[in-house]
Structure formats: C-alpha cells, structure tokens
C-alpha cells in the first residue's frame, strides 16, 4: 500500500522459553514512520538489540536491523542512507552455520519499476514468522520477448558424427567467438557464456553457442524500415537467446505489431511473411520450419530432415551471394586470403584462420581454393537455387528482406 495507514503486526514472536521477545510495529503512516524494536534477545543469549529511530521516507537512515554475537552465526546487516527516488536495499537479514534462516535481498531499484518479494522467511521450526510483500510492479518497463529458431547453412554443413541435427560450434571450440557483438550495437556478453555447457557448465551440448546474430523489428506498415534491433546468440539447435546464452531474447521496446527479421554477418537474412503482435508474452518465430512463412520467395535453403536454413555466402555483407561477376563474394574470399599478413608468399591456396566473414562454413578457416574451400560453397548454392533456371554461375542470390 503506497498511501494511507499501514497496520503491521508481529514481525517475530518466540515461544516455549526460547528467550526471544515479541517484536511488533504499531500502526503507522508512510509520512512519519516510528519503527520500534524489531528484535531483542535476553536471558544471556548473546543477541543485541536492534532498533530504528523515528524517520521519514524522504530521507531514510536505516541503521542496524539485527546484529548477533558470541559466535552465534548471525551476520551484521544494515541499510545505508537512501531515498525513494533511488533505493538500494541490501541484505536485510542473513543467517549462517545451518541455522535455518533464509538469505533475502533486494537489488537496486526505483519506485517506477519495483518488484518486492519476500524480505524474510524462517523455517525448520525455528519459531520465526513469514514476513513478505507480494510482488508488485508500479510501472513495468516496455519489452518484447521472442523465442526464435534459425539455422545457419554454413554451420550445418559437415555435421559432427552423431550430431546431424545440430550445427557445428567450431568457432566456440577454437575460442574465436568475440564477446562483443559484430553488429555495431555494442552489446557484450560474459566470456563464460562460451564455455562448454554455458556459463554454469551444466547446459546440454545442443545449447552451446555457434555465433552472434542480429534480430530486427520492422515497421508493420513499411517493412523496409527498421524500428529497433538487438544482437543475440545462436545455440547449436537453432535457438536464438539473450546474452546470458540461455534465456529467450528480450528486446526493450514498445509492444506492438512488427515484422521480425534475423540477419547474420555472412549469410542472407530472413524475415517473417507478415507482421505480428509482439509483447512481453513470448512469441515464437520458427524459421526452421517450412510451415512458417517468410517474406519473398526461396528465402531459405532446404538442408534435409524437413528443415530450412539461411543461405550462406554473403561474404561482403551487401545482401547478395554471388560466385562470379562484379563485386562477387568469391573474389572477396580470394582478396582476404592473399592480403593475410601471414600469407607471406601470397598463395591463393593459403588458409586464413580467425573470426572471418570469408569463413562461409564457420569452421574458423577461410579458403579460396583447395579442399573444402569456401568459394565452392557459394558456387554450389548459386547453381542449385530454384530461381536459377538456366544454371548460370553468374546468377545472384538476393536476400529476401526489403530495403529502402
């Protein structure tokens, strides 16, 4: 309750000769709060009196709420001077040494977005009562939550033995993934996210990270207009997740009707066929499935098992994939390989290593010619594309996302 009178009764009551006194709060108001003794021990139990003097909520100085002693295992807990415009409520109580008390804290918050859950709860028959506040949100921040699935053709090629339904994560295994997104929005993840099994090491193989992707929200009346975007991480099974490497993607933006597009640095992007109402309620977008419609024609490439993937081969990130002709992607690979400082003799058969746009199959190596070279992957796609009726090597695969 924000205004009016608050009647707070017993916060704690001992019993059965345990030496604890009844601690209570009289009826009070938020404009002039007189919080009396919260706890007082006795009978030589080693507990100190903790109290709060008369105070106001405009400038609150909350001193020691509780302090144990004599090796009883209870921690000292206090709250510094604060105001309601920027409230930092740290640990109010913390037990220890198996005493059955729960750890309860509230992160930095403001009254415009406050989620106050249980402040203290005893247990194990310790005689303490539960003191809690139901979760409350005074002004929830706008956000959109998405559960996107997408596959990168390059990472799906040459799958590991026994893992035909998973993309390879060679970039992660070779410690080549950057912690900063390559899409220019400055988003950074913790390096532990790229550990096997994720940051806590307990995730499944299918949840290990393949690479970064970019998710765009586009205007429902003009899909060529990007209203916001956010970098995200791609798991081996195709799940697009937030920067913790496991949670559904949350985009801090006003809910409404939008098209959803997914892009990658050297694959052709894809976009939903229609706009959809997006909000804080998770919305699915399964670009793996042929039953999920996308904008344009042949925006994805079949990879078997009824799944579709993003076309690989947009090495120069211009929205096209070309094997030959002006500004073709194959030449971009050649130029990179020849210019590699470690390619002292300038061989076109040289293999460049790193986190490279020229690395079409995302194995950490860019090759213009030779075994499993990246140029041939572009040629193969061009020749098999359904719109290339004449099978011309000069055909251009165009990204099926509208642009201004």
pLDDT in tens for each of the 404 residues of the chain? 333 333 333 444 555 555 555 544 444 343 434 443 344 555 555 555 454 444 443 433 443 444 455 555 555 444 444 333 333 333 444 455 555 555 444 444 333 333 333 344 455 556 555 554 444 444 468 999 999 999 999 999 999 999 999 999 999 999 999 999 999 999 999 999 999 888 778 889 999 999 999 999 999 999 999 999 999 999 999 999 999 999 999 999 999 999 999 999 999 999 999 999 999 999 999 999 999 999 999 999 999 888 999 999 999 999 999 999 989 999 999 999 999 999 999 999 999 999 999 999 999 999 999 989 999 999 999 999 999 999 999 999 999 999 87
Which residue, chain included where needed, has tokens 């992607």? 329
Domain regions of the chain by residue span: 1-140, 144-310, 320-398
What's the pLDDT score for residue 60?
A: 39
Direct distance between the N- and C-terminal alpha carbons of the chain, in angstroms, rounded to an integer: 51
Give the residue carrying structure tokens 């004449």.
390
């Amino acid at each position: 309750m924000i205004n009016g009178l608050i009647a707070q009764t017993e916060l704690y009551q001992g019993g059965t000769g345990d030496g604890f006194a009844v601690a209570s709060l009289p009826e009070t108001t938020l404009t002039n709060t007189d919080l009396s003794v919260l706890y007082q021990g006795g009978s030589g139990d080693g507990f100190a009196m903790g109290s709060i003097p008369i105070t106001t909520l405009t400038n609150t100085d909350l001193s020691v709420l509780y302090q144990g002693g004599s090796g009883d295992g209870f921690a000292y807990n206090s709250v510094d001077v604060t105001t309601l415009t920027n409230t930092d409520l740290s640990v109010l109580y913390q037990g220890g040494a198996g005493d059955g008390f729960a750890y309860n804290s509230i992160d930095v918050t403001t009254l415009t977005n406050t989620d106050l859950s249980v402040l203290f709860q005893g247990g194990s028959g310790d005689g303490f009562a539960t003191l809690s506040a139901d979760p409350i949100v005074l002004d929830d921040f706008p956000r959109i939550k998405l559960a996107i699935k997408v596959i990168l053709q390059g990472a799906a090629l040459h799958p590991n033995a026994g893992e035909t339904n998973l993309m390879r994560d060679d970039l992660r295994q070779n410690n080549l993934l950057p912690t900063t997104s390559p899409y220019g929005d400055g988003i950074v993840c913790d390096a532990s996210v790229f550990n096997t099994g994720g940051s806590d090491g307990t995730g499944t193989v299918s949840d290990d990270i393949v690479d970064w992707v970019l998710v765009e929200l586009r205007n429902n009346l003009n899909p060529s207009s990007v209203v916001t975007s956010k970098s995200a991480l791609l798991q081996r099974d195709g799940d697009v997740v937030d920067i913790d490497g496991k949670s559904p993607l949350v985009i801090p933006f006003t809910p409404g009707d939008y098209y959803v597009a997914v892009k990658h640095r050297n694959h052709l992007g894809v976009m939903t066929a229609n706009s959809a109402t997006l909000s804080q309620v998770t919305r699915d977008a399964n670009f793996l499935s042929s039953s999920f419609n996308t904008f344009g024609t042949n925006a994805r490439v079949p990879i078997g098992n009824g799944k579709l993937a993003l076309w690989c081969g947009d090495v120069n990130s211009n929205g096209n994939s070309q094997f030959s002709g002006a500004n073709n992607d194959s030449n971009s690979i050649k130029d990179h390989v020849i210019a590699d400082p470690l390619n002292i003799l300038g061989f076109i058969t040289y293999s460049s290593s790193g986190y490279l746009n020229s690395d079409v199959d995302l194995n950490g190596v860019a090759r213009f010619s030779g075994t499993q070279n990246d140029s041939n992957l572009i040629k193969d796609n061009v020749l098999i594309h359904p719109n290339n009726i004449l099978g011309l090597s000069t055909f251009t695969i165009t990204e099926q996302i509208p642009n201004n």
